[in-house]
Amino acid sequence: MRAFILSKYNTPVHEADMPEPVVGERDVLVRIQAAGLNQLDEKIRAGEFKAILPYRLPIVLGHDVAGTVIRVGTGVKGFTPGDEVYARPRDHRIGTFAERIAIDERDVALKPVSITMDEAGSLPLVALTAWQALVEIADVRAGQKVLIHAGAGGVGSIAIQLAKHLGAEVATTASAANADFVRRLGADHIIDYRGEDFAEVLSGYDVVLDSLGGENLEKSLRVLRRGGIAIGISGPPTPEFARAAGLSPIIRLAIAGLSRRIRTQAGKLGVRYTFLLMRASGVQLREIAGLVDAGAIRPVVGRIFPFDEAVAGIESLRKGGAQGKAVISNP
């Protein structure tokens, strides 16, 4: 089976011939027709997440998939061969930059019927990230104020639409060139990050979704009202995350040190900070598919790479700055 693998951290991904997936009792074997490209793939390739996602190399990268079910395990009840599905395979079972993948049925949902395979392949990771941040953690309600950084990107473009669906007033940071794009997605307030300081323009926000980290995250704390929450998806991870992930005591101690500064700042301001590393969920993908088919969320595919050009697609993640998501397509 053709696949694109990482053999050593911080080296280029390359094509290799890999064994066919082993289909377990509760697994769904999927012919991969579209695989979204995510910054998480780049962070893993660069070794940035090896402390909290310790993979044994070599591995096939890729966290998003849309395709057709080929075969199901003997214990699978919800899917049959021929079903069109989409999924974000759970951690340590990733590998969508390939021709086929076996996925735990609990991570799989039927593809939204109103969109293409390429569009469906762009959705799972970013849509689950937005859902878990805004619905699960922040419990966003109508009338609240939400700031979403990098609104033109993969997570941001979906999070804006979801926050608007939930009834929030939405601000976002974007370049002037992307202002009309994020406005069409539903953003009420657009801050040109190249010429404006969002921390001087915004105040009294209930929720910030931060995908940039560092100074941007620290400044984000200042735009929150007391009791508000900043959710970071680039880090730093928190001790709560480390405990929930079952990381070793040494790693947990290191993570506590990494996040101490931001947690201390949040405490002084009377706000909260939490780190989100999204998890796989077929149940949530079914909810998201309903929103897509109802027109509340639309995928944003910025670029499509043919399967033969997967390496170039993966390398494009280092540049960033594109609208929406890029996808590897193998119809």
Six-digit token string for 271 = 């706000």
Indicate the pTM of the whole model: 0.96
**Together in a domain, 243 and 255:** yes
Verify that 264 and 225 share a domain, yes or no: yes
Could you list the residue range(s) of the whole structural domain that residue 89 is in?
Answer: 2-123+299-329
| pLDDT on residue 53 | 87
pLDDT at residue 243, rounded to an integer: 87
Co-location of 109 and 136 in the same domain: no
Residue 252 covered by a domain: yes
User: Are 170 and 304 members of one domain?
Assistant: no
Instruction: Determine, yes or no, domain membership for 282.
Output: no
pLDDT digits (tens, 9 = 90+) for 22-48: 999 999 999 999 999 999 999 999 999
Could you tell me if residue 232 is inside a domain?
yes
Distance of CA 224 to the CA centre of its chain: 23
Is the predicted pLDDT of residue 323 greater than 90, yes or no? no
What 3-state class would DSSP assign to 73?
A: coil
Express each pLDDT in 242-288 by its tens digit: 888 888 888 888 888 889 999 999 999 999 999 999 999 999 999 99
Q: Are residues 36 and 161 in the same domain?
A: no
- 175 domain-assigned: yes
Quickly state the pLDDT bin for 51 (edges 50, 70, 90): confident
Kindly report the three-state secondary structure assignment for every residue of 227-289.
EEEEEECCCCCCHHHHHHCCCCHHHHHHHHHHHHHHHHHHHHHCCEEEECCCCCCHHHHHHHH
Report the number of distinct structural domains present in the chain. 2
Whether 94 is covered by a domain: the verdict is yes
Query: What CATH number does residue 74 fall under?
Result: 3.90.180.10
CATH of the domain at 174: 3.40.50.720
Residue 115 within a domain:
yes
User: Which band of pLDDT confidence, cut at 50, 70 and 90, is reported for residue 322?
Assistant: confident
